Homo-oligomer: A and B are copies of this chain.
Amino acid sequence: MNSKASDFVDTLVTVRYAETDQMGVVYYANYLIWMEVGRAAWCHDRGFHYRDLEAQHNRMMLVAEATCRYKAPARYEDIVLIRTAAGPSSDKVIRFIYEIRNQSNGQLLATGETVHVVTDRDLRPSRLPEQFGKLFLPPSAD
C-alpha cells in the first residue's frame, strides 16, 4: 500500500471520559470507532455523506476486516488526529488505511486498516453506484 501523505483526509476528536478504562487510557475498541469517524470525514472530503449512500442509494459498507496496531496510549481530553486514506478498492470491496496521532505533539498512537464489502440493505453483496466508484481511487492517480 503506497498512499501518499497528500491522500490522507484529517479530522479531530477529543478523547471522552467514556472512552477511557481503568488502565487510565483509551480502551482499545474505541479506536475502531475513531476509524469510523475518519471514514465519514473521508467521504465528506470526496463530496458525499456516507448516510446518503445508505439512504439514497441503498448501499452499505459492511466491515469484513479490521486491524489496529497500538503504538502509544491516548488519554482523556487528548486531541486526536485521525488520518484516513483509501487503499486499493473496487466497486465491490473498499479498503481504508488510518494513522491516528496525538494532535498536540504529532506522536503516532496507532495505525490500522479496514476492509469493507459493498452490500445492499439486506446485506447481500452489491456494487457501488457508478458515480461513487471513482471516488475511491486516489485523487492523484493518472
Residues of A within 8 A of B (CB-CB), count: 38
| Inter-chain contacts of A66 with B (CB < 8 A) | 28, 67-68, 70
Q: Which residues of A contact B (CB under 8 A)?
A: 14, 16-18, 20-25, 27-30, 32-33, 36-37, 40, 49-51, 54, 60, 62-70, 73, 75-77, 123
User: Can you sample 20 A-B contacts with CB below 8 Å?
Assistant: A17-B21, A17-B27, A17-B40, A18-B21, A18-B27, A20-B21, A21-B21, A23-B60, A29-B29, A29-B36, A40-B77, A49-B77, A51-B75, A51-B77, A62-B70, A62-B73, A64-B69, A64-B70, A65-B68, A65-B69
Q: Told that A18-B21, A25-B123, A29-B36 touch, could you supply 18 new A-B pairs with CB distance under 8 A?
A: A14-B40, A16-B36, A16-B40, A20-B22, A22-B54, A23-B123, A28-B66, A29-B29, A29-B30, A29-B32, A32-B32, A49-B77, A50-B77, A51-B76, A65-B67, A65-B69, A65-B70, A73-B123
